[in-house]
Chains A and B, each alone.
Chain A
Amino acid sequence: MMPSIAQLAMATGFILILIGFYGALTQRNLLRMIVAFTLSGTGVNIVIVAIGYMHGRTAPILDATVNAADAVSRVIDPVPQALVLTAIVIGLGVTALMLAYALKLHEQRRSLDIAKFTELKW
């Protein structure tokens, strides 16, 4: 059986999450870690959108082709999309914050190596 689009997308999303995690766990460069996190963020978003997808239906927008009456049988689940919008924006906020931190950390230590910021421990 051929995998559906949703399953394909979901699998890709999961793989992206894992790739992102791997990068975040193994790259010692702060900026590269942040890049890795944006990848896993994208992966999460893909999974969420894929879960709401229903084959043969249209986007949850009412227009000439989809009127209010038959929306129930014509559109896909709008909730995951709404959630993803929020998630994307929050992701950007966190990314910006991490970047600012990285910038400042570099300014202090002239290094982006995460292993150099370990004075706090034990």
Chain B
Amino acid sequence: MIKRFIALTLLLAIGGLFASLLLGYTPDSELNQTARYYAERTSPDIGAANIVTAIIVTYRGLDTLGEVTVLFLSAAIVGLVLALGGKSGKTGRGTVPVGELLTTGTRYLAPLIMLLGVYVFVNGHLTPGGGFQGGAILASGVLLLLLADPLKRFSHVLIATIESFAGLLYVLIGLFGLVLAGGFLDNRFLPTGELGALFSAGAIPLIYSLIGLKVGAEFASMLASLSESETS
């Protein structure tokens, strides 16, 4: 009880902080200098219709590289943690009955879902969504496969290869930007093309696709390691 009381007292104080932030908040009526720059320059400089995508992939590309790395790390460490002191003996996952419907449905649904994922990240520079969302959708296809057949082992090697390959290419493309264009992760070593076209915005679709693949692979590997039994 005393713990709750202390917690409430502390949070009351923190809440006070938040309240003063909230009360001090006045919405901007004009874009600030940074946002204005993005709104004005994204389409001529970068050639992407989705400004958020332009920011994520180009202007703040280093963040995104870091973000992808966060997932890479998490997936790796989740794998490491679960591999700790691997108790053999309980290899089989408990037999959970899987409905016929799910199995059959999956067979048709999973490729469709994955296709949707690819669509989302390929069009990241034009429409809402992109590598992360697409990657998540890809991973949900994998998830479905996992649910349908729990004993199906996902090829860790395949996942790891996709993941690493995409990551390596991502870094390389970043370097192309450094060498051929204005700086690391600059997308303009490829033509920016026409605003709104699929093949536009320089390297953004390429990068976002790689991110999509990589993120998808990372999610999939996390899901797979968390769902599989402790064997590895």
- Cβ of B165 within 8 Å of any chain A Cβ, yes or no, is no
- Cβ of B195 within 8 Å of any chain A Cβ, yes or no, is yes
Q: Which residue of B lies closest to A105 (CB)?
A: B81
- Cβ of B96 within 8 Å of any chain A Cβ, yes or no, is no
Specify which of B4, B36, B56, B82 is in contact with A72 (CB 8 Å cutoff): B36
Asked if B52 contacts A26 (CB within 8 A), the reply is no
Asked if A62 contacts B18 (CB within 8 A), the reply is no
Q: Which residue of B lies closest to A108 (CB)?
A: B85
Asked if B11 contacts A14 (CB within 8 A), the reply is no
Interface size class of B (residues with CB under 8 A): 35 or more
Specify which of A22, A100, A104 is in contact with B11 (CB 8 Å cutoff): A22
Expressed in whole angstroms, the minimum distance between the Cβ of A109 and any Cβ of chain B is: 13
Within A73-122, which residues are at the interface with B (CB < 8 Å)?
Answer: 75, 77-79, 81-82, 85-86, 88-90, 92-94, 96-97, 99-101, 103-104, 107
Contact A97 B25, CB 8 Å, known A85-B52, A86-B67: no
For A14, what are the chain B residues with a Cβ–Cβ distance below 8 Å?
15, 18-19, 21-22
Expressed in whole angstroms, the minimum distance between the Cβ of B96 and any Cβ of chain A is: 17
Expressed in whole angstroms, the minimum distance between the Cβ of B33 and any Cβ of chain A is: 11
State A104–B81 Cα separation when bound (angstroms): 7
Asked if A85 contacts B81 (CB within 8 A), the reply is no
Asked if A93 contacts B35 (CB within 8 A), the reply is no
> Which residues on B are within 8 Å of A, measured CB to CB?
3-4, 7-8, 10-11, 14-15, 18-19, 21-22, 25, 27-29, 31-32, 34-36, 38-40, 42-44, 49-52, 55-56, 60, 63-64, 67, 70-71, 73-75, 77-78, 81-82, 84, 87, 127-128, 132, 195-196, 215, 222, 225-226, 230
List 9 extra interface pairs beyond A75-B39, A96-B75, CB under 8 A.
A7-B25, A18-B15, A25-B11, A26-B3, A61-B51, A62-B49, A89-B215, A97-B77, A107-B87
> Which residues on A are within 8 Å of B, measured CB to CB?
4, 6-7, 10-11, 14, 17-18, 21-22, 25-26, 51, 53-55, 59-63, 68, 71-72, 75, 77-79, 81-82, 85-86, 88-90, 92-94, 96-97, 99-101, 103-104, 107
